Protein backbone atom coordinates (compact mmCIF):
# COMPACT_ATOMS: atom_id res chain seq x y z
CA UNK A 1 0.00 0.00 0.00
CA UNK A 2 1.50 3.31 -1.05
CA UNK A 3 2.09 5.87 1.67
CA UNK A 4 1.32 9.56 1.73
CA UNK A 5 2.89 11.27 -1.26
CA UNK A 6 3.86 14.92 -1.24
CA UNK A 7 5.04 16.85 -4.27
CA UNK A 8 7.34 18.50 -4.90
CA UNK A 9 9.96 17.44 -2.33
CA UNK A 10 11.91 20.68 -2.63
CA UNK A 11 10.89 24.13 -3.75
CA UNK A 12 12.68 27.46 -3.93
CA UNK A 13 10.68 30.66 -4.24
CA UNK A 14 11.27 34.37 -3.73
CA UNK A 15 9.44 36.79 -1.47
CA UNK A 16 6.07 37.90 -2.75
CA UNK A 17 5.47 34.82 -4.90
CA UNK A 18 2.84 32.22 -4.22
CA UNK A 19 3.19 28.45 -4.01
CA UNK A 20 0.97 25.38 -4.17
CA UNK A 21 1.91 22.12 -2.48
CA UNK A 22 0.23 18.81 -3.20
CA UNK A 23 -0.59 15.80 -1.03
CA UNK A 24 -1.99 12.42 -2.05
CA UNK A 25 -3.22 10.47 0.99
CA UNK A 26 -3.08 6.75 1.53
CA UNK A 27 -5.72 5.03 -0.56
CA UNK A 28 -9.01 4.98 1.35
CA UNK A 29 -8.03 7.74 3.75
CA UNK A 30 -10.46 10.64 3.77
CA UNK A 31 -8.86 12.99 6.28
CA UNK A 32 -5.85 15.13 5.42
CA UNK A 33 -4.01 17.46 7.79
CA UNK A 34 -1.18 19.88 7.11
CA UNK A 35 1.64 20.92 9.43
CA UNK A 36 4.49 23.41 9.27
CA UNK A 37 7.82 22.41 10.81
CA UNK A 38 10.52 24.97 11.56
CA UNK A 39 13.56 24.87 13.89
CA UNK A 40 12.20 27.78 15.92
CA UNK A 41 8.50 26.95 16.21
CA UNK A 42 8.59 23.18 15.86
CA UNK A 43 5.57 21.36 14.44
CA UNK A 44 2.49 23.54 14.10
CA UNK A 45 -0.95 22.52 12.85
CA UNK A 46 -2.20 24.37 9.78
CA UNK A 47 -5.56 22.80 8.88
CA UNK A 48 -7.51 19.57 8.54
CA UNK A 49 -9.81 18.53 5.72
CA UNK A 50 -12.37 15.77 5.66
CA UNK A 51 -14.66 15.00 2.73
CA UNK A 52 -13.69 18.25 1.00
CA UNK A 53 -14.58 20.36 4.06
CA UNK A 54 -12.17 22.19 6.31
CA UNK A 55 -12.83 20.77 9.74
CA UNK A 56 -10.20 22.51 11.83
CA UNK A 57 -7.79 25.38 11.37
CA UNK A 58 -4.64 26.40 13.21
CA UNK A 59 -3.45 29.87 14.06
CA UNK A 60 -1.95 30.96 10.74
CA UNK A 61 -2.66 34.08 8.65
CA UNK A 62 -5.10 34.01 5.76
CA UNK A 63 -2.20 33.77 3.30
CA UNK A 64 -2.25 30.06 4.10
CA UNK A 65 -5.15 28.21 2.53
CA UNK A 66 -6.00 24.72 1.45
CA UNK A 67 -8.54 22.56 -0.22
CA UNK A 68 -9.43 18.93 -0.66
CA UNK A 69 -10.74 17.27 -3.78
CA UNK A 70 -13.35 14.54 -4.14
CA UNK A 71 -10.60 11.92 -4.44
CA UNK A 72 -9.24 13.10 -1.04
CA UNK A 73 -6.11 14.63 -2.56
CA UNK A 74 -5.29 17.95 -0.97
CA UNK A 75 -3.43 21.10 -1.87
CA UNK A 76 -2.23 23.95 0.26
CA UNK A 77 -1.46 27.38 -1.06
CA UNK A 78 0.66 30.13 0.42
CA UNK A 79 0.37 33.58 -1.13
CA UNK A 80 2.68 36.58 -0.83
CA UNK A 81 5.52 34.48 0.50
CA UNK A 82 7.65 35.80 3.33
CA UNK A 83 11.11 34.72 4.46
CA UNK A 84 9.56 33.23 7.59
CA UNK A 85 7.53 30.79 5.49
CA UNK A 86 10.68 28.78 4.85
CA UNK A 87 9.87 25.42 6.43
CA UNK A 88 9.18 21.76 5.95
CA UNK A 89 5.47 21.33 5.18
CA UNK A 90 4.11 17.96 6.20
CA UNK A 91 0.89 16.34 5.14
CA UNK A 92 -0.73 13.53 7.12
CA UNK A 93 -3.71 11.34 6.34
CA UNK A 94 -5.97 9.15 8.43
CA UNK A 95 -8.88 6.90 7.66
CA UNK A 96 -11.79 9.03 8.84
CA UNK A 97 -10.14 11.69 10.95
CA UNK A 98 -11.27 10.19 14.24
CA UNK A 99 -9.24 11.20 17.25
CA UNK A 100 -8.00 7.72 18.10
CA UNK A 101 -6.80 7.02 14.57
CA UNK A 102 -3.11 7.72 13.98
CA UNK A 103 -2.06 10.11 11.28
CA UNK A 104 0.33 8.83 8.64
CA UNK A 105 2.83 11.39 7.41
CA UNK A 106 4.44 12.03 4.07
CA UNK A 107 8.10 13.00 3.73
CA UNK A 108 7.20 16.65 3.32
CA UNK A 109 7.92 19.51 0.96
CA UNK A 110 10.88 21.66 1.93
CA UNK A 111 10.11 25.24 0.94
CA UNK A 112 12.94 27.77 0.85
CA UNK A 113 12.22 31.47 0.41
CA UNK A 114 14.99 33.67 -0.95
Partner 1 sequence: AQSVTQLGSHVSVSEGALVLLRCNYSSSVPPYLFWYVQYPNQGLQLLLKYTTGATLVKGINGFEAEFKKSETSFHLTKPSAHMSDAAEYFCAVRAEFGSARQLTFGSGTQLTVLP
- Using the minimum distance from each CB to partner 1, give the nearer residue, 70 or 100: 100
Q: Is 45 in the site for partner 1 (CB under 8 A)?
A: yes
Q: Is 85 in the site for partner 1 (CB under 8 A)?
A: no
Q: Is 58 in the site for partner 1 (CB under 8 A)?
A: yes
What radius of gyration do the chain's Cα atoms show? 13
> Can you count the helices (H) and strands (E) in the chain?
0, 11
Contact 93, 31 (CB under 8 A): yes
- Using the minimum distance from each CB to partner 1, give the nearer residue, 37 or 79: 37
Find the shortest distance in angstroms from Cβ 82 to partner 1. 23
- How far is Cα of residue 99 from the mean position of the Cα atoms in its chain? 18
Q: Is 74 in the site for partner 1 (CB under 8 A)?
A: no
The one segment of 11-19, 43-51, 61-69, 74-82 that binds partner 1 by CB under 8 A: 43-51
The candidate with the shortest Cα–Cα distance to 76, out of 28, 20, 36, 25, is: 20
The candidate with the shortest Cα–Cα distance to 91, out of 107, 79, 112, is: 107
Residues that bind partner 1 (CB under 8 A): 4, 6, 33, 35, 42-43, 45, 48, 55-56, 58, 90, 92, 99-100, 102-108
Amino acid sequence: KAGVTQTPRYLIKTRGQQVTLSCSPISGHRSVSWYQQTPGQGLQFLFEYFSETQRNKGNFPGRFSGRQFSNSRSEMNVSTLELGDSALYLCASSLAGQINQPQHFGDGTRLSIL
